């Protein structure tokens, strides 16, 4: 049953966001007419347009589709928190009393009454949720997913769950309510409190979004509320680095499993015989459904092994058989911009791109790069994301980035924020201890990559628009390492 059948028309304010676009695709696949606004044309909005969704890029009421303007009672407006308060279209839709819901509210509506796997955490949730969705899909378990990144395996940020008719055709004993839906549970603006999952993963509760929460204790309390909404009989998978008081906040009858790389970190769920081989990490899983040896994860990183442990246990909890786990793990190819190998040349040279935008994410990423390329000269190009996050974590950014030999900083990507006096990338620059550091423009980064050969491994890191550099850097390094264009 379609829970929003009374809205044949759906209009998205901020349709180009990764989570918003997944919802837009769901609505269109379920027979709704869909339109959207975004301030910038991107490959993602172009993909939506190619799929038949009309998108415009100027904030003007006259650009809203006539069907939306003429059918207020039949239109649902979906809003992202990134839309500024002075947005003209938003103001007009409010004045006209349209039904306006936040993305998180719509996600809560679509998962209500459904078997839900929710992945929360200040970092790691996109990769982990994509892993759960992939494991289920690869093993043939009927499932749906709303993801915060483009899964390489799925080629999308959305996996459409089967209809009741499709389940019947496939002779599945499941009803649509029993088909697991995998979602990212976003802590920003307390969005995840719209969810009531059967299985929840909490990857981390590090301080973040202090512009919303003020202090980490308030963030942790929000996570406690979230895990308190796990349904009785459900499961909480809790990372060893997360606040352990979350285990006390679940309802009676909810099973808590701690996970980590070692038995001390995760007595109920952990790895052993963990070793990197080439770009792969090999390990044995020890979990509630037994021991699974010989697992091969093609997406490197010690943190990704932890993510896969949690994803495997969550997938097993909603129908993945242990017999199919090893093949599904080996087939996982990651998420765009998460430890993504852009160019490699032999065993000694590589260019990687990663979305890391929190000090702990950067630390985990760079330590894993060091493990893969021991003794190699590492250059990192980092774009800080948000003025508030830069202000709050200057020392942490400097410490984690200083794992590299060279650090080139870009200016802060503001996203939804206005500048804060005295807050700039120079705050990080002054605390870096790497041997070579600089604050550069995007143009200068490209010029330096072309003229300076003094590195073996290059990494672009950040959650803003640093990915715009990737195609040009790819061309430069192909010419350097292969003597040809990419």
What pLDDT, in 10s, does the model give residues 290-301?
999 999 999 988
Least confident of 1-5, 271-275, 399-403: 1-5
Looking at domain 113-331, its CATH class is alpha beta
User: Region 422-426: what's the mean pLDDT?
Assistant: 97
pLDDT, tens digit, for every residue of 359-402? 999 998 999 899 889 999 999 999 999 999 999 999 999 999 99
Coil/strand/helix, residue 167: helix
Q: Do 286 and 263 contact (CB within 8 A), yes or no? A: yes
Residue list for the binding site: 121-127
Q: Cα–Cα distance between 73 and 48 in angstroms, integer?
A: 25
Domain ranges of the chain: 9-102, 113-331, 340-482
Residue list for the binding site for ATP: 121-127
- pLDDT tier for residue 1 given thresholds of 50, 70 and 90: low
- pLDDT tier for residue 207 given thresholds of 50, 70 and 90: low
Query: For residue 260, what is the DSSP state?
Result: -
Average per-residue pLDDT in the chain? Answer: 94
* pLDDT over 70 percentage in the chain: 98
- pLDDT tier for residue 85 given thresholds of 50, 70 and 90: confident
- pLDDT tier for residue 279 given thresholds of 50, 70 and 90: confident
Looking at domain 340-482, its CATH class is alpha beta
Buried b (16+ CB within 10 A) or exposed e, 69-105: beeeeebbbbbbebbeeebebbeebeeeebebbebbe
Just give the CATH number of 9-102. Answer: 3.40.50.720
Taking alpha carbons only, the member of 465, 472, 469, 467 closest to residue 486 is: 472
């Amino acid at each position: 049953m379609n829970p929003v059948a009374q809205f044949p028309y759906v209009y998205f304010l901020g349709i180009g966001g990764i989570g918003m676009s997944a919802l837009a695709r769901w609505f269109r696949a379920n027979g709704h007419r869909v339109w959207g606004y975004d301030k910038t044309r991107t490959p993602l909005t172009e993909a939506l347009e190619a799929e038949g969704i009309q998108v415009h890029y100027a904030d003007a009421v006259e650009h809203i589709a006539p069907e939306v303007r003429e059918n207020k009672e039949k239109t649902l407006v979906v809003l992202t928190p990134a839309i500024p308060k002075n947005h003209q279209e938003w103001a007009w839709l409010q004045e006209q009393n349209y039904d306006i819901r936040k993305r998180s509210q719509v996600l809560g509506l679509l998962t209500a009454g459904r078997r839900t796997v929710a992945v929360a955490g200040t970092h790691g949730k996109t990769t982990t949720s994509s892993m759960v969705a992939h494991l289920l899909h690869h093993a043939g378990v009927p499932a749906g997913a709303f993801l915060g990144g483009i899964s390489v395996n799925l080629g999308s940020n959305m996996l459409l769950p089967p209809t009741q008719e499709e389940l019947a055709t496939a002779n599945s004993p499941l009803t649509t309510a029993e088909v697991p839906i995998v979602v990212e549970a976003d802590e920003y603006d307390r969005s995840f409190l719209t969810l009531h999952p059967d299985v929840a993963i909490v990857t981390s509760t590090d301080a973040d979004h202090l512009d919303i929460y003020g202090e980490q204790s308030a963030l942790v309390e929000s996570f406690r509320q979230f895990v308190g909404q796990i349904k009785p009989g459900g499961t909480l998978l809790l990372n060893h680095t997360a606040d352990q008081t979350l285990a006390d906040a679940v309802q009676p009858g909810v099973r808590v499993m701690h996970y980590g790389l070692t038995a001390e970190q995760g007595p109920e769920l952990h790895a052993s015989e963990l070793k990197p081989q080439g770009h792969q990490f090999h390990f044995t899983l020890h979990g509630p459904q037994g021991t699974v040896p010989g697992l091969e994860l093609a997406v490197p990183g010690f943190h990704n092994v932890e993510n896969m442990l949690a994803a495997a246990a969550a997938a097993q909890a909603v129908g993945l058989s242990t017999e199919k786990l090893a093949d599904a793990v080996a087939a996982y190819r990651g998420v765009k911009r998460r430890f993504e190998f852009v160019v490699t040349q032999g065993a000694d040279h590589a260019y990687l791109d990663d979305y890391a935008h929190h000090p702990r994410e950067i630390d985990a990423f760079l330590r894993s790069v060091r493990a893969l390329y021991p003794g190699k000269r590492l250059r990192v190009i980092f774009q800080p994301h948000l003025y508030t996050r830069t202000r709050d974590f200057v020392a942490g950014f400097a410490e984690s980035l200083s794992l590299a030999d060279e650090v080139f900083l870009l200016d802060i990507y503001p996203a939804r924020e206005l500048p804060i006096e005295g807050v700039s990338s120079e705050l990080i620059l002054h605390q870096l201890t790497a041997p070579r550091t600089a604050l550069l423009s995007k143009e200068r980064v490209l010029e330096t990559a072309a003229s300076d050969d003094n590195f073996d491994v290059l990494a672009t890191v950040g959650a803003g628009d640093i990915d715009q550099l990737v195609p040009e850097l790819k061309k430069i390094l192909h010419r350097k390492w292969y003597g040809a264009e990419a």
